[in-house]
Structure formats: structure tokens, C-alpha cells
A and B are shown apart, each in its own frame.
Chain A
Amino acid sequence: MKGFLAKILLNTMSKRKRPDLKVPAPYMTEQEKILYNLIQSKQDLGIWSWDIKRETSLPDNVVDKSLKSLRSKLLIKEVVNVQFKGRKHYLASEFEPSSEITGGKWYNDQGFLETEFINFLKDQCLKHIRNLKIATVDTVANAVRRSRVLKIDCSSQEIGDIVRALVLDNDVIEMRSNGLGEFASVPTGRMCYKCRRSPDAMKEPRVGVMAWIPCGVCPRIARCMPGGTISPMTCEYYSKWLDF
């Protein structure tokens, strides 16, 4: 929630802080210098501890001790790599991690998805698509900006990510404009979006026939057979379904 509110209320932070030139650099051993130079060379992408060991060919215990020392001297910092949360990833202190590492707007500092923020943006985009009837990514992005509901700027590409997620949720249909009828205002060939159902309609998509019966949702159907441990005659799902 903290991260979500920060995205709504605060400006984005800069990529790199300027090093304070008045403070003298702390003393480093030779091994620490090798490690620090390597980490600094990776800039905002940083480097995994395993890669540090491989590239420097220093013994593991030396690397671990040096990294601990550099951290205590505030020359490097450990960050969460959203793609590999379990790995120790290091950056020089003067750099901010790139979105490749952090996951960009969609991830918090701990490397987890900002689900609430994403859902909030989805609701906003859906509302604007419903108002526009037929919308493109650009018209939705403009509508979101004009509404001033966000203090941070979301690019058209990021809004596009959200709109395409709405397509995956089946809340919105995507189709190419043919320039006719309701698509008259959209150039031919441009991808546009339309709400799938009215606001009063049920949130969930229509339930298919197979999904409506117990066998359709059963994860054990492959093992079900007459006379078996799982069978239509003894099935619990069936019993609940037929419990009148």
C-alpha cells in the first residue's frame, strides 16, 4: 500500500544521485577495489554475487567479506532483482536500479507486483473506454492524464500494457478499425478497444457448458472411472451438485 500511495502522490525519483565530492572516499583493500570497480562498471544494471565471483576469480570467502565491508562503507547496496528475487544483486550506491531490475512502475521495492496500483489503473482505463465507446491506447492515455488522478506520468506504452491486460481479463475486446460505422473516427487498421459488457452485467465472463458441470472443473478427471477410487457414482463434487 505504501508503494502504491507513493506512485499516486510522489514524483519519480532520478536514476542516479551525484556523488558528494567533498566527502573523501573511504579506504578500500585491493580486493575491495577490484570488486567495487566491477560493480560500478555495471552502472544501473548491477551484478549478481555469483557473477562477481566468476568474473573476479577471487575465493568465495574473500568476495563475501569484501562485499560486506563495501556495504558497511555505504559504497554499494543490495537490491532486489524482480526476475530473481532470491539472488543477491549489488549496485554502486550512486546508481538507482534500472526498470530491468526493479520491474518498473509495476513492482515495489521488495520485487513484488503492485497489484493494487495495477488494479486501480485498470479500473480507470475501463471507465474511460466505456465513456469513449470505441477507444485507442492514445485516447485512453490522454483521458487518464486529463483526469489528473495520477501524479506520476504514465506513458502511452504503459497505458497500453494495462489496456492489453484488460483484454486478457476479457473485460475489453480489441479489434482493428475498418473506418466504417462506429469506427469512423479511428483510422483504418488502427487497433481499438471496446467494453465487452455493460456496467450492470456480471463481472465474470459467461460460464461455458463444460465449466458448469462437476467434471468440467474437476482436476482429477483423468483418474475418474466407474469402479475406481474416483468415479461418477462416488464423486463428492457430484454429491454436492445434486444436494437438493
Chain B
Amino acid sequence: MSFRPSCDPLASSSSSNTWSPLVQRLEQEQEQRQRQQQPRGGGTMVPPSQYGIKYAVHIISSHFGDLVAKVCECLLRRGPLTHRNIVRFMEISASQVKNCLLVLIQQNCVQAFSVEHPGGDEDESRRSTEYMAVFDNIIHRMRFPKFVAVVSQELDKECVELFQGLLQHGRLTLEKMIDRAKSGQEDCPAQDATRETLSKLINARFVERCPDPEPHLSPPSEEEGRARKRTKFSKVAAEPQTIEERVLAAAAPMEAKRFLTIFHTTTEEDGQKTECSFPGVGEKRKCDALESDKELGSDGSQVLWRVNVQEFMHRFRHKACVENVRERLDGGAAVALNAMLETSRSMEKKVKTDNAGPLTINTIYEEVMKGEAGRAMTLDHLRASLVMLGCERGTDESYQIDLKNIIELAQNEEVESVVLKRYGREAYRIFRLLSKANRLIETDKISSTAFVDKTETSKILFRLWKDEFLHMEKVVVTGPRQTQFLLWKVNKSTLWPHVLDEMYHAALNLNLRVAYELEKENELLNLPIEKRSGPLEKRYNRLRTVRLLLESSLMKLDDAIMLFHDF
């Protein structure tokens, strides 16, 4: 008896021999098209999506008002612009634009930079200042409570208070921090205490020096040439960066300076305040009008400090990996992974590190024993857990783990969960088949491998394709009879941004619903407590429950947004 082809997606079947070379050709052509379509200067930073921008604008609007939000939106949609162009596009006064930019720069949501524009035949080149919205920092504003929670767990109350001040004000000099701590008292210990508190935050990498307020960008051709230069050690030229990446890289302080805890303060006796220093704590955010754009930069003599978001992203990424492993495997594997990540965190240069390790078994075991959960773990149990994690083992019993793979698995689970809830179990099986195969598969093969009736398979595939979960290609085979085959694939390079955009949309909706529920019960909220009795108290309790549910859902959804955007 002849059997139907194996359900192993990688196994070729006799019935598909006629078109499998065609499928391979199609895939190769598709990959070529994707490479050609990549924007010049691809880099790794993806421009924000439609709902990403709407969500970011909503955050700015809630925190700083509509005018600042509109300036921010202009920069997010149009890219970096000069002050003059912003005024032109916004059709508001120059001073209003300037004030909005000041607020956004103060809060690390905009980064200024200068560029040289080559002149014409007889004109000299001229330099102008442009302003670029930093989308990531805007979204990070929703995570401030999570940052505070991390600092609370590790440092003392004074550190938390200082840290909250930095979150509130965006960036502060040591002097401003001392003023804030003193609250008007002439107190020497306050100065030392603040310095010590700031040192603790810097040493823990929770706080960093602010970037250069206005770095200069060389013309793109020079920088691209340097980036593309082949050395004898590299086989592939480095990918040119996007303008956003170039600006942030140019602005970033040197690693040696970034966490340098040498403080310089100017007191009222020693120094003079400049005419255009950053607004003091508690003052209104207004500057005297000056013609030059330099007023929008900081005073170079005073070091500005801000929250180091990268450290928190590292920690959240590690936490997400550990929780995924705990749920997918078991507690022992989670303890082993946590130990590896704690040990290797200081060595990680960037958030999206592919691997953790290699680390020797003894190093990992030392770290495991520090935690309560690991004290009962034997060395053999640890070895078994490391094997279960799929760690690569070196000759000296060192272990390395692929973090990128764990993140991908977590992302897959998130999307598969949506498919299951939205389209049902059969669609879930079909989607998982295509996701695992990572190549084009024909309808009949999907039907037979996933054990879904063929008619139902076609309906499900079309629904998923219509909602942009799947990519579809048609193959027409000419012969005695012309036959059309439909091939399907999960294309993560387009699907993941689509899912992320839906998450931004959902986050925006949660925010809007909270605002709507509070607005609806505005009168009830303004009532004194003693007047809230009977049905009013019931409504108040309902409102409290609703708000808790919506806001906690938003925090959880933010974890999923980080999974797709930041990790």
C-alpha cells in the first residue's frame, strides 16, 4: 500500500516532486526581492509603525499637553527637522516650537544634532541644527513604575527618591539634585548624602551621563565609506546605519565617561549661572528668547545625569528569558539560566546579546548557590538543567546559551496564542506548522500534515492571509492541463512588525478606555468619601476594579511590546 507523504515538512514527497524545484526557485527569488527592498542604510533600527506613532503621541499628550505632542508627532512622522521647518509645518510661532523642543529635550524624547549642508558652486557649506524624536525613550515613559520597582528592590529609600526625581525631571545636574534634597535648607550633609546616593545609582548603572546635546554628524558619504571599508579580517562590509542610529551613536558619551563618578558642582559663591541654563526644579519651563539654536543645548560646564534605560532593558530581557524557561521547561532550568545571566550581565555590551557565556560549571554553580531557590540544587541537577536548556557545552565543561533562540520562542508563543484565540485550534496547528517550517508549503501538504480537512484548510489559510498573518504565492504549472497551486508561509520579517503595531494599537486602546471610564465617573470621583454610600459606593468600587484591570493589563502588554521591540 502506498502511503501519503510524511508529515515532516522537510521531507519531500513523490506527489510534490513536480513542483518542489519551482518552490525552491520561488523562495530564492523572494529572498532576493526582500534584500533589494531593504532600505538603503538598513541598520537595525526600524522606523516606528503607524500605531507606534499614535501611541507615542498619546503618551506625550498625557504628560505634557497637546502642543508638545503635536511637535513630537511632526518629528515622528517627518523625521529629523530644523527648528525653522518645524515652525513651517506646524504653523505655530517659533517661540512655541522652541518651548516644546526644550521640554522634549529635557525629557530625553528629542535629540538635537548638527549637520553640514554642502553649498553650491560659489556658496560655502553651512551647518544647521536638526531635531530628532527618540521614539524608544517616549515609549519607555510607560515603564517608569517598573524602573522604580527594580531600584526599590536593590537600593535604599534615598536612592529611590533621587531616581524618581530624575524620572520626573528627565535630566538633572548634581547641583539641582542637591537643591531638591535640601529643599531650601543650608545643609552640608545634604550635599554629601546626595553625592553618595547618586554614586550608588551610577555604580548600579541605573543612572548615566547625558549624551552630547548637539553632536555633529559628518556627511553621509564619508561615514558610509568608513562603514563599508573592508578589512582583512572581515568578509562582509558593515551595514550602514540609519540616521537615528548615527545620531544616537555620535551623541553617546564614551564608555569610560558614561558612569564616571567625578562630580563638579558650582555653588552660588564659586560660579555664575548662565543666562540660559536648564529650568530649575519646580520652575516653569520658559527660556529667554535668543536667536541662536545653541540655547537649546545644555551648559557644558555642568554634567547632566539621566536614567540609564539600557540597564533596565537588560534586566527585563533576562527576566523574560527566565520566566519563559520556567513555564516551558521547569524551575531548575530557570534557576540555572538565571545564574548564567546574572554572571554574564556585566560582560554584555548591548541589550540584544545573542548568547550568554561561555561560563564554567563551577562559576554557574557559585551563582546558583547564592539564591534561595538554588541552595538545594546539586551539581548533577545543575548539569541536567543546563542540558535541558540546550546549552552548548565546551571541552572544559563550559556552557553557553542561545538567548536569541529563547526570545524567538517567547515571541512565537505570543503570536500563536493570538492565532489560537482569534481563529481556533485548527488555525493554530496550521500556523505552527508554517512557523516551524519557515518555508513555502502547498495547501494539500498543509492539510495532510496538520490533519485539517482540505476545504477547511483553504478557508483558514485565506483568513490568515487576509489578516496579514501569512504570505501567499501562486504557482502555475503548465502541462497537459494548467494547474494552479497556492503556497503559504509565515514571513516573520513582515508579521512581527504587524503584531507589534497591533500591540501599540491595543495599548493605546487600553489608555483611551481608562480615560473614558474615569471621565464617565468624573462627578463620582469628585464627591467626598462620606457621600459615597450605597449604589454610589458600588459604582466607585467598580471603577476602582476596572481601573486596576485596565492598568495592570497595560503593564503586562508593555512586557509583550518589549519582547517584540526591545529584546
Using CB atoms and an 8 Å cutoff, list the residues of chain A in contact with chain B. 12, 15, 51, 54, 82-83, 85, 98-100, 103-104, 106, 112-113, 118, 155, 157-158, 160-161, 164-165, 167-170, 173, 175, 178, 180-183, 196, 204-213, 215-219, 221-222, 224, 226, 232-233, 235, 238, 241-242, 244
Contacts and interface: CB of A to CB of B under 8 A. Distances in A.
Contact of B559 (A104, A205, A209, A226): A209
Given A181-B387, A232-B516, A219 B421 contact: no
Interface in B1-34: 1-4, 6-8, 15
B451 A118 contact: yes
Given A15-B1, A82-B454, A244-B546, A215 B509 contact: yes
A211 B421 contact: yes
9 contacts: A54-B481, A112-B453, A113-B453, A160-B8, A170-B432, A211-B420, A217-B421, A224-B509, A233-B512
B4 A238 contact: no
Interface in B428-448: 428-429, 432-433, 444, 448
A83 B447 CA distance: 10
Given A215-B505, A219-B422, A100 B2 contact: yes
A175 B4 CA distance: 24
B414 interface: yes
B387 A164 contact: no
A206 B7 contact: no
Interface in B470-513: 480-481, 499, 502-503, 505-506, 508-510, 512-513
Interface in B376-415: 383-384, 387-388, 390, 393, 413-415
Contacts of A12: 1
Given A164-B449, A165-B450, A165-B451, 6 more contacts: A118-B451, A164-B8, A208-B414, A209-B560, A216-B418, A232-B509
B542 interface: yes
B8 A207 contact: no
A233 B3 contact: no
Interface residues of B, number: 64
Contacts of B425: 169
A201 B507 CA distance: 30
B382 to A, nearest CB: 11
B416 A205 contact: yes
B559 to A, nearest CB: 6
A16 to B, nearest CB: 11
B553 interface: yes
A175 to B, nearest CB: 7
B467 interface: yes
Among A157, A168, A241, chain B packs the most CB atoms within 10 A around the CB of: A168
Nearest to A242: B546
Interface string B546-563: 100110010011011000
